Amino acid sequence: MSDSLFDADEHAPPPNARPGPDAPLAARMRPVDLSEVVGQQHILGEGTTLQKAVVAGRPHSAILYGPPGTGKTTLARIIAAMSDGAFEEESAVNAGRAQIRDVIARAEQRQQNSGRRTVLFLDEIHRFNKAQQDALLPAVESGILTLIGATTENPYFEVNSALISRCQVYELKKLGPDEIRTLLDRALADPEHGVGGQVEVEDAALELLAERGGGDARAALAALERLAAAGGTADLAAAEDALQAQAIAYDRDGDHHFDYISAWIKATRGSDPDASLFYLAVMLEAGEDPRFIVRRMIILASEDIGNADPQALVVAAAAGQAVDRIGMPEAALNLAQAATYSRAGPQVERFLRGAEPGPGRSPAERAEAAARPPA
């Protein structure tokens, strides 16, 4: 048994090896070392704990938590390759306790015979129940396995505390449009593993793929692959078709960025909840940072509503907490609730009219003005 095990290990391709030409573009363009990884500098930047451990070839058990297409599988494969460890990969969707016991048995034998470490990449680890997660504990505790778990769910809720205490949790963030654009340009420039020479993509179309990819590198590269399959020159309409999404005229750093937030503020001041929701939806759909929007909501709650309805500030601040704790897309509901609550109604107009000092107005006159209904 041991001979076949180590023969298989010896002839197995490295975990970060590139797949063949029939694999999806995202798999073919998967980074093979840290220098090729785009984004996630908060955990992989020079001098960070994880970066030092990977470069030194001394990985530790970790849980990688983040949205789809942010590099969890890529990072796990790079960790295994740079540690010169045997790489085992399982998905919690299909694997059970029997498969995990088999992995642990192979890891024990590998360690006894050659001293080689085993890195187990367990995708969708949150799908394991408590008993299945507990089966990993002795092997992780003793160092027989270096566990790299990946999950899109918050591990502090979905992974049991005993396993969490034996692993370092790293949160991967959505890739920004500039980072997605870097990956698209890299694929277009690579004729061997990418789509270089197969299609020409207009700059506006690439910007659309980068902006509307939702921070998911896999989704953006899949759309680019569909464009390459069609060949020729891909324009904005072709990119919309590849994404199955309509382009919104919006730029996060230019005029549209300020035009839409200004329109939202005016709609809210004008007590038009439908318009307020429309402009909010446009900004969110176009990829605007929800934290920017909620900051404007909090400012508006004091600047335009103030003590006419002090609860508006509470609602806006609560929406900000929801954005931080829940994230998009779910937090869109909280933003919509805050937007419709923050509309400036007649009570605000009365308050502002009464609060305006005016020449020679006494407090009683200001109170009388505030009590009058608006014209």
Of 306, 260, 265, 319, the residue nearest 287 (C-alpha): 260
Cα 24 from Cα 363, distance rounded (Å)? 73
Query: Kind of pairing, strands 168-171 and 118-123?
Result: unpaired
**In CATH, what class is 177-243?**
mainly alpha
Integer Cα distance of 63 and 324 in angstroms: 21
Could you tell me where in the chain the CATH 3.40.50.300 domains are found?
2-171
- Spacing of C-alpha 347 from chain mean position: 40
- The radius of gyration of the chain's CA atoms, rounded to the nearest angstrom, is 27
Q: Quick one: which of 178, 141, 150, 123 has its CA closest to 63?
A: 150
Check residue 40 and give its pLDDT. 92
Q: What pLDDT is attached to residue 248?
A: 59
Say if CB 273 and CB 343 are below 8 A apart. Answer: yes
Q: What is the reported pLDDT for 147? A: 93
Query: Is 255-347 a CATH 1.20.272.10 domain?
Result: yes
Looking at the DSSP bridge assignments, the partners of residue 88 are: 120
Compute the distance between CA of residue 307 and CA of residue 312 in angstroms, rounded to an integer.
9
What residue spans in the chain does CATH classification 1.10.8 cover?
177-243
pLDDT beneath 70: ranges in the chain: 1-14, 16, 245-256, 343-375
Task: Answer for the pair 240, 247: CB distance below 8 angstroms, yes or no.
Answer: yes
Q: 375 in helix, strand or coil?
A: coil
CATH 1.20.272.10 location in the chain: 255-347
CB neighbours of 9 closer than 8 A, spacing ≥ 6? Answer: 86, 110, 116
For tokens 């890739």, name the residue. 175
pLDDT in tens, 112-144: 888 888 999 999 998 898 888 988 999 999 889
Q: Convert the pLDDT of each residue in 9-45 to its tens digit.
A: 555 566 767 777 789 999 999 998 899 999 999 999 9
CATH fourth-level superfamily of 2-171: P-loop containing nucleotide triphosphate hydrolases (3.40.50.300)
Instruction: Determine the pLDDT at residue 362.
Output: 53
